[in-house]
A and B are shown apart, each in its own frame.
Chain A
Amino acid sequence: MKNLSKLKAPILAIILTIGSALVNAQSIKSLDALEFSPEGILFAGDKISGAIHAFDLSSETRFAEQFEINAYNIDAQVAAALGTASGNLKINDMTVHPISGEVFISVTRGHGIDALPALIKVNAESQLQIVDLTSLKSTSQSLNKLPDGSQNFIVRGTMAPPTIKEIEKSKVPMRTLSIMDIEYHKGEVFVAGITNENFCSVLRRMPYPFTGEESVSNIEMFHIAHDQYETRAPIRSFLIENIDGIDQMVASYTCSPLVLIPLDELKNGAKVKARTIGDMGNGQPIDMVSFSMQGNNMIYVTSNSRTPRVISVGGLEKAKVYTEKDFERGGKSDMDILPIGPMGKPVMFTGSALQVALLNPMQFATIRRDPDTGSMDLESVSIYFANKMNNLHAEMDFPQYAKEHENDKKK
């Protein structure tokens, strides 16, 4: 028995006392927004240590064939692998490896000071693996002007005394909005979030490989639904597309304006006025995904409050820019003029789309809340019809129908 206690190498024991064996807890404190470069570098936002980490996953190999992903009860499965209950787990973001096509999910195990970050890979067989971040080559860049974490939001009731949940929301540090989304574009990393200033909504850009250089631009936009110019609420999700012949950011905000920002304007210290080209209707966007449908560039947008929307990038060319002069004063809602602008079409999605990424040219990977059971499932769905049929019974599900149409198939 005695010699057994000496089994662990001392260095491993030291790492374990401060967190997980697979994460170097001294530099990586949380894993939030994720983004891959085409070469397989994974960028991860870390709101707690205030940095962007880049992990080299470029050696992953391509699978011979496209594969389906079906990992049901993904939250319970990840929780089990991490030795905890699903109530102690928060899924932060999901992305797909550009070469292997495998799904990567950033999560947080536990709450408060006990919280630990983990990166999960779901492979082509839909099996879960915890990624050993200590075995990967990695670099990090610290972000400037981050909120220090001491200031929280205010309590904002709506017409009635605030509820417990509304009060709980106010106890969140503003720092949690410091890194909202990351995009890699032509050798640069773009990050949306907030700073410690009053005019705090910003876009950061930095070259990769990291040099320590960071350019921070403040972003102002006209919010149609709120009927005001806003400088604090951050961009929730964004993409970079070529529109009107130049590279522009297509960015979405809460409640839910869509704006364009030419990349050329994002210079260090610049106060940039984003062009509001529409509003997708009240709600908070979660993800924006670029994909190609019959040769056309499209954007799939998910929201925590409404069904996904498919927007044609071509439709954003020469779009009208809205300002306060275009409207009568007062808030706007779904009940009157919203959505407005070339905001595409709302599309069917059974349940709630929590995370979406492009799995391969024909399929999305989605983390979906099932409308009947409430389970959280990771599934692959077609880009043309991003749905599973398990929650619906239609005419075609009847045996009589199948029999009557047997001959159709033979033809």
Chain B
Amino acid sequence: MANVAVCVLGSFGYDRAAQGAVGAGRALAGSVGGEVHVLVIGPADEEAVAAMAAVADRVVLGANEELRDVQPEQALQAAEQLHAAGGGDYVAVLLSNDTYSQEIAPRLAHRLGGSSMADAAAIRMDGDHLLAQRTAYGGKAISIYRLKKSPAVVWLRARGFEPAPEQPSSGDVTSVDLNLDPPRIRIVGREVAAQEGVRLEDAPVIVSGGRGLGGPEPFHELGKLADTIGAEQGASRAACDAGWVPPNWQVGQTGKKVAPELYIAIAISGASQHLLGMGDSKVVAAINTDADAPIFKHCSFGIVEDYKAVVPLLTEKLAALSG
């Protein structure tokens, strides 16, 4: 049999990312005539479990209380044990793109004797092998990898996949009591960055700033623009590395992968690594003094001008238009 497993973190519930991961799993399983099993790492609320059962052929819960706040070492052990409890005969094990899923994927693959791949934007089976498409060379190329060992353990750009359709009848839900060792690396504190509004990944409009802003203060000016149009704020790596804004504002290859309706890049040159994170935006606008900046090859409209002259005036005009 060629079943597909999807690992979901219970504390995240059946969020948009989990929906995309299960959707990817359903499409893959459909192509090989197999089932979709959702393996839930840690306690999840009833509603989420019901939603997962509605789209899966089977849900296996590992609801040990010690997994409520994710401990990565134990999440890995849990994934391994849930994999066995689900039957173990999986051609693919899919994960989402949150921090915890990303870090356990290669380790889980190693434990299962499989192949791992990161940040897949598309997957399909070719005979016994899974092919995973992703970017390479910092976004300058697209590559397709053949994963030669089974199972293929892949973390996905999960929000990019269509949610799974509900099945005619709900899948079985079973619980497993996991046997977890105390972690030798233990998370002892969490500092959640103050975040008003929605997550960057889910934001419909984003105003992003780069090195060309020259310091932290101009981000307040961009903040006023963002407030006027109901946008969230992002940044380039250069602005984050300079300490002007927190690291979790970073958009790009190694930052957030965003997909807003509108992305406004201000004083950002448009390096391939930045484009990689914003490439799924529907409409991109740019404000930059350099007409030759690569960003202008990746935006629908823009203005070649100093942000200092543009942003306050733009904010004023937009306030008038929406008022």
A and B associate in one complex: no
Chain B residues engaging chain A, CB cutoff 8 angstroms = none
Chain A residues engaging chain B, CB cutoff 8 angstroms = none
